[in-house]
Structure 1
Amino acid sequence: MPTLSVSRRHFGLAALSLFAGSTLMHPGAAHSSENLSNVTLRVATYRGFDTTLLPAAGLDNFPYKVEFSEFNSGNLIAQAINANAIDIGTWSEIPLVFAAAASALISVVATIDGPTSNQAVVVPVGSPAHSIRDLRGKKVGYIRSTTAQYFLIRMLQQADLTLSDITPVALGLSEGLTALKSGSLDAWATYGYVIPMIEADGTARVLQSAENILSGHYFIGASPARLSDPAFVAAAADYINRLGKAYATAMQDKPRWAHILAPVIRIPEKIILSDLEAENRPYRIRPWTGADITSAHAVAKIFAEQKLLPEHIDLKNLFSNALTPFL
């Protein structure tokens, strides 16, 4: 019998963004001759995602064991894979470049194309700020080594400002929300369902969206130490394909998915549905390409210009073709 267990280790609040995928090969198609009953996949997830979606889609009948741990940002997932605590997880370009700079032991095995419409700098409803330029000298929170840090830097550049023109405060997701609500932040760079949630309850408003700043490229990473094991590769490919099929199924019926997700992440169903319907592009899982590496290098260059990363980080060696034939 397949085993699905959820670790009780929770790494902060749920990541409040949604990954979805296109229909890929039928689950089990990769390495169908492999005996996977002795394989265990340690999968990083976000609350309301894999552990909710896969059972809802009837795709949790794994021929291998799966152990889930919850995280709230991709940088923590990359760190966990590097520490050999997790086998598979997802992150954006930003955790990838920081992981590369730290010589982390991670491998990118697939790309997720997704929307960028759920990421923004927000300010309290009563804030006098009407543009990023108005944040000069203000205290601005962000989530370190994530898209939030990146798009904050880019927005400041567009306004002819730098990080030195504001007081940047690195906070986790839950800490940032608490700080904004308590009035100790003048603005907050954040992402996901938290944005429409705080808009709906009158806490904050969007100052500027990152929709036209971010590439919309996300990555599925794996532990390189396990990619030499054919059984692990077979199980990982099967899992990713199941996830892609489940997300595609969910996106075909967004009201149903919003109804399933609402009680899990404790956000009103109408807010989830509104956010799903506002996405500027669909999610799609695919093999990575050279263009993905080029895009990530462009991100690394921005951080290098800010003296936050060294120059000339080589990302190419972090990309693995181990799962490409099966995606």
Structure 2
Amino acid sequence: MPPLLVRCLGLLLLALHVHTAHAAEVVRVATSKNILSFPVVVAHEKGFFARHGIVVDRQDCVSGARCMVEMFEGRVDLATAADLPIALNGLRRNDFAILATFVTSNRDLKILVDSNAGISSLKDLVNTRVAYVRGTASQYFLDTMLIYNGIDPNRVERVPLGVEEASAALRDGRVQAVSLWEPHISRLRLAKGEQVRLLSTQRVYLETFNLLAPRDFIERHAEQIPAILRAIDEAIQFINTNPREALALLAQRLDVPVAVLSDIFGDYHYRLSLSKSLPRTLDSQVRWAIASGEVSAGVTPPNFLKFIEPRFLRLVRPSAVTLP
């Protein structure tokens, strides 16, 4: 074989090897073990990522805040998180971006109280012990509900605990109430029965759950990100058109009965979006964090529009982007 032809074939084989290695590169994704992150789970377990040429290693976290820690410390490439951890981290760093919101809910967060504590309204929380998870939407939701109802949060003994510790504290009687998200609320209700009850709260906080990535990952994997979003979009379509199968999968994942999940599944609105309301929500959360003393009063709020990367979602679903 002529030397020139041998050289050309060698270069071709090398190029094919490099392309195959790039295509097979594993994308590590951290998903919070809740109802909100379900589309990413479905995209993985039903093979939608694989259909779009994305090899995913999915890892569960106890919360979106923890997923972000995993991302910042380099153990995963993508994270799922609610808006509050995004706002708080945005005060400290700017090396990450929001690729898409994939679900919204104004009923995921709830306040569950001890039925024997004499608590029938939010105003009865004054001088009681209420557990929450610091740095998560649980904390923001609790303060928002108190302030909206004219209650100074400082009149409530707010107890910061981990997710499992907060649940245990209510079970053991160490607190009279908890502010948590699903499925932890449903698990507590199953375990305690009539010994606990939901407190009525207004639907004034629309929580979002979002897909996040470090900026260096975005630049190195710009060709893959539209495929990742398409896979999640297909997962959302699967959830919305196959609710029975979706509920069965979710129940198995969360170890909560289908009958319990079916009562709350309608509280979650799965769709890809990047809404003009998202940066406003993040701005409001920063103002709350400063006013509450969660962060220093001297902190300068960032421009959260710069934390949103809409170019990929515009390729997948142009109408889903309503940013200014």
The equivalent residue for 2:215 is 224
Cα deviation 1:136-193 (Å, max 9, x = unaligned) = 1111101111111111111111233233212111112111111110111111001112
Which residue of structure 1 lines up, in the alignment, with residue 75 of structure 2?
85
Question: What is the Cα deviation at residue 313 of structure 1?
Answer: 1.2
Distance 2:287 2:217 in 1: 30
- Which has more radius of gyration? 2
TM-score by length of 1: 0.80
Partner amino acid, structure 2, of 1:250: I
Query: Following the alignment from structure 2 to structure 1, what is the Cα–Cα distance between the partners of residues 120 and 288?
Result: 25
Following the alignment from structure 1 to structure 2, what is the Cα–Cα distance between the partners of residues 138 and 262? Answer: 33
Which of 207, 211, 227 aligns to 2:199? It is 207
Alpha-carbon distance, 1:246 to partner:
1.0
- Alignment partner of 2:143 out of 150, 153, 158: 153
CA deviation after TM superposition for structure 1 residue 222, in Å = 0.4
Q: Deviations over 1:280-327 (max 9, x none)?
A: x622112x2443212210121122111212454102332224523433
Other-structure match for 2:129: 139
CA contact (8 A) 2:54 2:228 kept: no
Tell me which residue corresponds to 2:62.
Answer: 72
- Separation of aligned partners in 2, 1:59 and 1:271: 27
Residues 82 and 104 in structure 1, CA contact (< 8 A), matched pair in contact too: no
What SS class does the counterpart of residue 42 from structure 1 fall into? strand
**Structure 1 residues 235 and 199: alpha-carbon distance in aligned structure 2, compared to 1, 3 A threshold:** same
Normalized against structure 2, the TM-score is what? 0.81
Within 5 A, what are the aligned runs for 1:16-95? Answer: 36-47=22-33, 49=38, 53-54=42-43, 57-62=46-51, 63-95=53-85
Deviation at 1:197, TM superposition (A): 3.3
Q: CA deviation at 1:46?
A: 3.3
The structure whose residues are more often helix, as a share, is 2
5+ long unaligned stretches in structure 2: 1-18, 317-324
Letter of the 1:266 counterpart: D
Residue identity matched to 1:319: I
Distance in 2 of aligned mates of 1:69 and 1:291: 29
CA–CA distance in structure 2, aligned partners of residues 89 and 160 of structure 1: 35
Partner of 2:16: none
Displacement of 1:58 in angstroms is 4.1
Residue of 79, 84, 105 corresponding to 2:95? 105
Task: Report the count of equivalent residues.
Answer: 288
Which residue is 2:5 aligned to? none
Are residues 86 and 322 of structure 1, via their aligned partners in 2, closer, same or farther at CA, if it must alter by over 3 Å?
A: farther
2:305 aligned with 1:313: no
Q: Secondary structure at the match of 2:219?
A: coil
CA distance in 1, matches of 2:238, 2:24: 29
- Structure 2 Cα separation of the partners of residues 108 and 52 of structure 1: 18
In the alignment, the residues of structure 2 paired with residue 302 and residue 291 of structure 1 have an alpha-carbon distance, to the nearest angstrom, of 17
Higher relative contact order (CA 8 A, sep 6+): 1
> Taking every aligned residue pair, what percent have the same amino acid on both sides?
16
Match of 1:264 in 2: 253
For 2:170 and 2:181, the matched residues in 1 are separated by 14
Residue 233 (structure 1) aligned with residue 225 (structure 2): no
3-state secondary structure, aligned to 2:48: coil
Tell me the residue number matched to 1:17. Answer: none
Question: Contact (CA 8 Å) 1:81, 1:106: kept in 2 or not?
Answer: no
Find the counterpart in structure 2 of residue 19 from structure 1: none
Q: Which residue of 1 aligns with 2:110?
A: 120
Shift of 1:56: 5.3
Q: Which residue of 1 aligns with 2:174?
A: 184
1:29 counterpart residue number: none
2:321 alignment partner in structure 1: none
Moved over 4 A (4+): none
